[in-house]
Amino acid sequence: MVAPERIPNNVINPCVKYTLYALSFLFWLVCWFVLGIGIWALVERGDNVKVTSYLDFFTDPAIVMVVVGGLGIILNFAGFIGALRENCCLLTFFYLSMILIFILEVTAGILAFAFSGQFFTAVDEVVESAIMNYRQDGDTTNFIDYAQRTLECCGGDGGYRDWTLNRYYNCSDSNPSIERCGVPYSCCRTVSDDDIINTQCGFNVQRSESAEIIDTIYIIGCVDGFVLFVNEKSLIVGLTIFGIALIQLLVMLLAFILSRQIEKEYEFYEEFKNRGLTGISTVSGGNRF
Nearest to 213 by CA among 197, 228, 202: 202
CB 28 within 8 A of CB 49: no
Higher per-residue confidence, 78 vs 124 = 78
| pLDDT for position 284 | 47
The partner residues of 217 in beta bridges, in order of sequence, read 188
Q: Which of 58-67, 77-86, 265-274 has the highest mean pLDDT?
A: 77-86
* Range from 51-65, 163-177, 222-236, 270-284 carrying the lowest mean pLDDT: 270-284
Q: Which of 36-50, 89-103, 120-134, 138-152 has the highest mean pLDDT?
A: 89-103
Query: How many angstroms separate the CA atoms of 146 and 187, rounded?
Result: 10
What pTM value is reported for the model?
0.71
Indicate the Cα dihedral angle 128, 133, 138, 141, nearest 10°: 30
Nearest to 166 by CA among 267, 60, 175, 157: 175
Mean pLDDT of 150-163: 90
Looking at residue 284, the DSSP 8-state letter turns out to be P
Residue type, 194: D
33 falls in which pLDDT band (50, 70, 90)? very high
Mean pLDDT of 87-114: 90
Nearest to 230 by CA among 115, 139, 153: 153
CB 261 within 8 A of CB 13: yes
Mean pLDDT of 152-181: 90
| pLDDT for position 282 | 44
Query: How many angstroms separate the CA atoms of 42 and 65, rounded?
Result: 10
Beta-carbon neighbour count of residue 232 at 10 Å?
10
Query: How many angstroms separate the CA atoms of 182 and 202, rounded?
Result: 5
| pLDDT for position 4 | 47
Higher per-residue confidence, 254 vs 112 = 254
1 falls in which pLDDT band (50, 70, 90)? very low
| pLDDT for position 287 | 56
Average pLDDT, whole number, for the chain? Answer: 83
160 falls in which pLDDT band (50, 70, 90)? very high
What whole-number percentage of the chain has pLDDT above 90?
35
